[in-house]
Amino acid sequence: MFKKIAFTALCTSALLLAESGVGININDEDLEIEGIIDSRNLAVLQTSSTIFQADLNFLNINSDRKLFGAGFGATNKLEGVEGVELTFGAKYVWAEMGDESVNALPLMAKIHYDFPPLRFNIPPVSLEAKALYAPTALSLGDSEKYSEFRLSADIEMIENVKIYAGYRNIHAGYKDMENDLFDNSFYGGLKITY
């Protein structure tokens, strides 16, 4: 059931979110597909300097651990610092580990930095850090907590095509679970933006 829901959501997000971007990242054991849409591409929502973002992701680890997330956030430029954007929001997360599942609604904070144009025609480079946290109060059912930290860097080698590398650390706590480490790994991938 989980596979059907996740696959349907990913196919839908790839079609709907393709206007802003889709990405895939991998390592030896993990496969993640992600999509994002922001209001910069939707003229109807451009009524203020705040940019609204919606994102979806699906992470499959060795076929025994899966994570599906859908979130919404508001983004704006940090006053006085060129190239820095801050995003705050929330995300629904459903993580499956064997027979157990964790459901949570973590709060999200993200900082994105676009380096200024570099000399010698070096392609655009950016860094991004993202943190999500849900204490017991924001964890649903028998879930106890959820936390996620990501750090990534990308470079736009071809117009609208970025390659990126990053690190993710995800903890998903469930009642009576001894080890809550869901994933702790480096990854690399490709992102297409529109």
pLDDT digits (tens, 9 = 90+) for 39-62: 776 655 556 778 888 999 999 988
Least-confidence region, from 41-55, 93-107, 130-144, 170-184: 41-55
Cα–Cα distance list, 193 to 42, 49, 119, 157, 168 (Å):
14, 21, 24, 12, 22
- Mean pLDDT for the stretch of residues 113-133: 88
- Tell me which long-range contacts 101-105 makes (C-beta under 8 A, separation of at least 24): 101/2, 101/174, 102/139, 102/143, 102/146, 102/172, 102/173, 102/174, 103/139, 103/140, 103/141, 103/143, 104/134, 104/138, 104/139, 104/140, 104/143, 104/145, 104/146, 104/172, 105/134, 105/138, 105/139, 105/140
- Mean pLDDT for the stretch of residues 60-73: 91
pTM above 0.75, yes or no: yes
- Mean pLDDT for the stretch of residues 124-135: 94
CATH class given for the domain over 2-193 = mainly beta
pLDDT at 116: 86
Domain ranges in the chain? 2-193
pLDDT at 13: 45
pLDDT at 74: 92
Look at residue 89 and tell me whether its pLDDT is greater than 60: yes
Alpha-carbon span 164 to 74, nearest angstrom? 23
> How many Cβ atoms sit within 10 Å of the Cβ of residue 19?
16
170 SS3 class? strand
Look at residue 154 and tell me whether its pLDDT is greater than 60: yes
Alpha-carbon span 168 to 10, nearest angstrom? 20
